[in-house]
Structure 1
Amino acid sequence: MHYFHVDVFSGTPFSGNSLAVFPGAAGLNGSQMQRITEEMRHFESIFLDQKNEAGDAWRARVFDLSEELDFAGHPVIGAASVLHAMAGGDTSRTWSLELKARTVEVVRERRGHGRYASVLDQGPPQFLGRPVLNDLSSWFCLDEEDLHAELPPEIVSTGLHYLIVPVRTGALKRARITSDITGPLGQVGAQFAYLLDADALEGRHWNNDGVVEDVATGSAAGCVAAYLRRHERLGDGDQQVLRQGQFCGRPSEMTISAHGGPQAITSVRVGGEVAVVAQGRLEGLPQ
């Protein structure tokens, strides 16, 4: 089985968020996809199955090292780049990818040999509440004064439920997770947490036990765009750059925008560059 190795949210190979893309995965089951993802050891892998003869609509399943995800941003953006590379041509193209949580469209443009730029429309966001958590700062080994004085924590979703936790500038560098926060997150209806320096436009995200830090979290970036628009930190359709990954040695940049009024956001968009690093072939498949 043929696959591609790409780096997402960076135009330079060996930076950004790495990904394995399998464009011919129609015959695989979920167990096989999970085992392949564990073998590849990228942050995530995405498996594609063509839906129509035109080749512009695909079913997609995304796995990280422990489970299948209902939605993810950087795999979708990386997959669209691979589809563009396979199709050829220098013009902009639009790809439709059907995930478990929703179907999304990605507009891609070739920037040069092995380099692409994209914009993913994640659709309208959901705002799922502002929980009051007296011990929230301790989840990330921070002090109470490290939380942002004006912006409240809020749960936002464009497919995955993120607790957006705004912090003061300087707090991200000291933050870490030392105790699994899955339980506390579940009690307030969230799946993951994303620390956001809304003044510097930079974020950090770990898996819930804190063992692995994510380089660039596309699904969370859409939630950040919605959050900033809701709190009037982002204008209607204005594009900003959200940075992530510097604290784990792989600086990444995601363009974010939100469209509509603060109380009626119609869509959020996340974009970035992709570099094709390598191609390979699996000589066998897990049984």
Structure 2
Amino acid sequence: MRMLVVDAFADRPFTGNPAGVCLLADAADPEWMQRVAAEMKHSETAFVRPVAEGDADYELRWFTPVTEVALCGHATMAAAHALYETGAVASGRPIRFRTLESGVLTVTRDETGRLSMDFPACPPEPAGTVPEGLAEALGIPVVAVGRNVQNDLIVDVEDESALRRIAPDVRALAEIDARGVIVTAAAEGREHDFVSRFFAPRVLPGDAEDPVTGSAHCALAPHWARRLGRDTLTGRQASARGGDVHVALRGDRVVLTGAAVTVLDGELRV
């Protein structure tokens, strides 16, 4: 079967967030999908298969090297990019993905090749007190903390410079009750409205940092829209690879827009 590696939220290779994309003809065993994701070692590998029923065109599932997840933005973008690039879907046609827990997700491609994804918004609510050990695990002071229904913490820090300095204690961060930790601050320049970083030590190996996280922007979009009084914003995820995510809040939905680049196209033989 065909297997691709796509850099999502990227306008050139080796930036943004890489994802594996496995184009299935039929349903696959979840244990096998998990083994493939572990072999690929990307933060996410997407598995796509056509369906001819209901309101969807394809089934989409996402696996980290250690577990299946309920929602992944960059691997959804990678999957859509792969379908458009391989000719499985005509360029002007929307793709409707059926997912296990996140409903139907629609992706469109414009004439420039940019992809827009319609996702559920996950606005944070104030968490009250800062979780014990969080500031120490991040190594910088924490200004405020929110939590959303995905059990992500949204952590405001003083400024972009502080955010870029973070070198977390991964073991200590894994002790915090959260799926992931989204750290954010206002952007210092005019090109972006806000900056962020995302850490998920319970599901990601190594330094636990995800380069560019679409699902995190489902929380960041309403968070910064409230603060800045605008529904259309541009975020910069300030990881080593880095990537831009354009967000547009539409009621209880968020449209995430960015570019993607194929870096590998091959055949999976197992």
TM-score (norm 1): 0.81
Asked whether the equivalents of residues 108 and 116 of structure 2 are also in contact (C-alpha less than 8 Å), the reply is yes
Q: 2-side partners of 1:26 and 1:126: how far apart?
A: 35
Alignment partner of 1:168 is 2:166: no
Deviation at 1:155, TM superposition (A): 1.2
* Aligned 1:103-122 pairs, distance under 5 A: 103-109=104-110, 111=112, 116-122=113-119
Contact 1:8 1:78 in 2 (8 A): yes
CA distance in 2, matches of 1:176, 1:107: 36
Number of matched residues? Answer: 258
Q: Is 2:225 the partner of 1:233?
A: no
Identity %: 23
Measured after TM superposition, the shift of residue 226 of structure 1 is 1.4
In structure 2, do the counterparts of structure 1 residues 223 and 126 end up closer, same or farther at CA, with 3 Å as the change threshold?
Answer: closer
Q: Are 2:179 and 2:200, in contact at CA under 8 Å, matched by a contact in 1?
A: no
1:45-64 aligned within 5 A: 45-52=45-52, 57-64=57-64
Q: Show the counterpart of 1:19.
A: 19
Stretches of structure 1 lacking an aligned partner (at least 5 in a row): 260-264
Give, in angstroms, the shift of residue 273 of structure 1: 0.2
Hey, what's the Cα distance between the residues in 1 that align with 2:55 and 2:127? 42
Output the CA distance in 1 between the equivalents of 2:212 and 2:121.
Answer: 21
Cα distance, 1:81 vs. partner?
Answer: 1.1
Do the aligned partners of 2:164 and 2:238 also contact (CA within 8 Å) in 1? Answer: no
User: Which of residues 193, 211, 216 in structure 1 aligns to 2:181?
Assistant: 193
Match of 1:131 among 119, 128, 132: 128
Aligned-residue CA RMSD (Å): 2.4
Residues 228-258 of structure 1: CA distance to partner in whole angstroms, max 9, x if unpaired?
12x332413x2x2211244x2x121111121
Question: 2:197 pairs with 197, 204, 208, which one?
Answer: 204
Match of 1:31 in 2: 31
1:262 corresponds in structure 2 to: none
> For the residues of structure 2 that align with 1:4 and 1:127, how far apart are their CA atoms?
34
1:51 partner SS: strand
